[in-house]
Amino acid sequence: MSREEVAPDAMGELRRTHAAAEVSADLVDREVVLAGWVHRRRDHGGVIFVDLRDRGERVQVVFRPDASPEAHARAGELRSEYVILVRGVVMRRSADTVNPKLATGEVEVEVSELRLLNRATPPPFAIEEEADADEEARLRYRLHDLRRPPLQRALQLRHALAQSVRSSLVAQGFLEIETPVLANSTPEGARDFLVPSRLHPGEFYALPQSPQIMKQLLMIAGFERYFQIARCFRDEDLRADRQPEFTQIDLEMSFVGVEEVLDVLEELTARGCAEAAGVELERPFRRIPYIEAMDRFGSDRPDTRIQLELVDLTDAFRESGFRAFRAAVDAGGIVKCLPVHDAGDLGRGDVDRLESFVKKELGAKGLAWIRVNDDGTWQSPIVKFFSEEERAMVAERTGARPGSLIFFQADAAGRANAVLSRLRTDLGERLGRVDGRAFDAVFVVDFPLFKRADDGSRTYAHQPFVAPLDEDLGLLETDPDRVRGTHYDVVINGVELGSGSLRNHRSDVQRRILELLGYPKREAETRFGFLLNALDAGAPPHGGFAYGFDRWVMVLAGVESLRDVVAFPKTQRAQDLLMNAPGVVEQQQLDELTIRVELPRE
């Protein structure tokens, strides 16, 4: 029979009795019916071996010409990814043929009946642990990619984490409530995806960037504890840890302060990591104030396992004769350094490559450095510009000693911290300066309420509904830029899993914050009047949190990209290569929505 003549069979009354993972020595001499995909076929001198794969495992099935001539003849036509159903008896393998790499490796199934349920085109790459294909090919042929063990494990982990989250929050008294996907546009920090309204020409819904306002309304409505695993949408430039549509674990609580919310978050995070991935987090989670995180690590999401810390030298160079450092301080910037002790493995070529990297990739002006030689002398192009007092201060604060290599940044605080933070992470991992813990969770707290945009205007640090700390309320009138918010982040291994805060439950405070953000009174009422009116209807003190669910799975799975933990992700250009989205629509649909498309000129 030729390959073209092989016709798919019906299952009929024959149904699968066991999954592949269930086939073990306990079933020896028992008949089983298995179904799955042909992972690999091997013909060994007339005996045909097939690795049958289903969702959970692989098991070897054997076709012997003397046991079942018909099944053996049909097995010769099988190819990779054919869908089959087999009936046979479980047999124990001989000691020399046991496969220790498979959980089912002690046994095999001697087939008496084979049914071909469907043929398959040749897969574009091997369905193996490592795919011999670039990411574009993997996304274009996502159905094949999803059959590979890493994607199977990631989505099983995702499922387990979602179940743990639901169980934990329900046990803590939360109700799961869905909120609308078609909503109004609100400022969330990124561009909205807009949906035109056919019934209201010229008007648009916005897909929610988060259910932020809706969950506040649920608190005002009296539900007290809410959560949902919500789909959210942001039209922003993509990267490895971003997708245009993503999943968020959203929760909100009434009549709470920061400590009560953090207790819930710690329980939820620790339980989810343990139940879904077997990861035991050290409790209680450490608290790191935002200012301390930026000072020591240069980042508000520090990987605290890395045993390198930054040192601030701004005051040491405030009156310096070294113009490069003095100019940065005079412009309101900082002088900061990253000391790396016992850095003999980093040669001059490495330093040159680091300087090129921070200039080209991170936007730094340069990378100043000092190397302390074995005899204690300092080697550096910048040392000649230091006064004796400045040298002494650098040596004392950095703990410089023979073998030390110190990297400097003198720039605006944001850029200097970003550069040194990246160097801290990269060099810490490269040099093995990690304390050995596989996972470390911390809370970062006491963020500023406001920050300054590039044009100098005041904007919100996180979102416009964060409540100030009670002790800073008076500063809203006298010194707004010093106001701290009741904001908190959960960070694991340098990855921000999510953010939250207490919310403004007083309309006068919320109106003042909107005013400080530059919203005229009329615009504030137009855009947020429904929320302000709701606050006046008797809003309880409330606060909450939003986990980036995809990112949490990514951390536990130990992968570098969200695309490896999402079933059908988009590319960095926001395209779905499997289903060819986005795509054009017919003119009739556009006419119904009163939309005219004018493409930009090339």
3-state secondary structure 102-153: CCCCCEEEEEEEEEEEECCCCCCCCCCCCCCCCHHHHHHCHHHHCCCHHHHH
Location of each CATH 2.40.50.140 domain in the chain = 3-118
Average confidence (pLDDT) over 42-67: 93
Say yes or no to pLDDT of 187 above 90.
Answer: no
Given this model, what pLDDT does residue 185 score? 83
The neighbour count for residue 221, using CB atoms within 10 Å, is: 13
3-class secondary structure per residue, 185-214: CCCCCCECCEEECCCCCCCEEECCCCCHHH
Maximal C-alpha separation, the chain: 93
Location of each CATH 3.30.1360.30 domain in the chain = 306-430
Model's pTM, two decimal places? Answer: 0.90
Say yes or no to pLDDT of 189 above 80.
Answer: no
The CA-to-CA distance between both ends of the chain, in Å, stands at 56
**Which among 317, 342, 406 is positioned nearest to 369, based on CA atoms?**
406
Going by pLDDT thresholds of 50, 70 and 90, the confidence category of residue 3 is very low
What is the distance of C-alpha 358 from the center of its chain? 24
Say yes or no to pLDDT of 512 above 90.
Answer: yes
| pLDDT tens, residue by residue, 103-120 | 999 999 999 999 999 999
Which is it for strands 204-206 and 83-92: parallel, antiparallel or unpaired? unpaired
Using the 8-state DSSP alphabet, how is residue 232 labeled?
E
* Counts for the chain of helices (H) and strands (E), in that order: 16, 22
Alpha carbons 271 and 248: distance in angstroms, whole number: 17
Scored b (16 or more CB within 10 A) or e, 77-104 reads: bbeebbebbbbbbbeebeeeeeeeebeb
| pLDDT tens, residue by residue, 11-27 | 888 899 999 999 999 99
| CATH architecture classification, 151-288+441-566 | 2-Layer Sandwich (3.30)
Say yes or no to pLDDT of 322 above 70.
Answer: yes
Main-chain dihedrals φ then ψ at residue 7, nearest 5 degrees: -105, 140
Alpha carbons 263 and 284: distance in angstroms, whole number: 9
Scored b (16 or more CB within 10 A) or e, 33-67 reads: bbbbbbbbbeeeeeebbbbbbbeebbbbbbbbeee
Rounded to whole angstroms, what are the CA distances from 240 to 131, 219, 565, 569?
18, 34, 11, 11
Alpha carbons 413 and 331: distance in angstroms, whole number: 10
| pLDDT tens, residue by residue, 71-93 | 999 999 999 999 999 999 999 99
Give the pair of three-digit tokens for residue 200. 């209201």
What is the distance of C-alpha 497 from the center of its chain? 7
Which is it for strands 194-196 and 204-206: parallel, antiparallel or unpaired? antiparallel
Using the 8-state DSSP alphabet, how is residue 481 labeled?
G
**CATH for the stretch 306-430:** 3.30.1360.30
| Residue 334: strand, helix, or coil | strand
Average confidence (pLDDT) over 482-487: 95
Average confidence (pLDDT) over 480-492: 96
Say yes or no to pLDDT of 529 above 50.
Answer: yes
Q: In sequence order, what are the beta bridge partners of 441?
A: 492
Which is it for strands 311-312 and 83-92: parallel, antiparallel or unpaired? unpaired
Going by pLDDT thresholds of 50, 70 and 90, the confidence category of residue 452 is confident
Which is it for strands 175-176 and 225-233: parallel, antiparallel or unpaired? parallel
Give the pair of three-digit tokens for residue 400. 């410089």
**Which among 302, 505, 338, 534 is positioned nearest to 420, based on CA atoms?**
338
Say if CB 176 and CB 227 are below 8 A apart: yes
Given this model, what pLDDT does residue 1 score? 39
**CATH for the stretch 3-118:** 2.40.50.140
Average confidence (pLDDT) over 571-577: 91
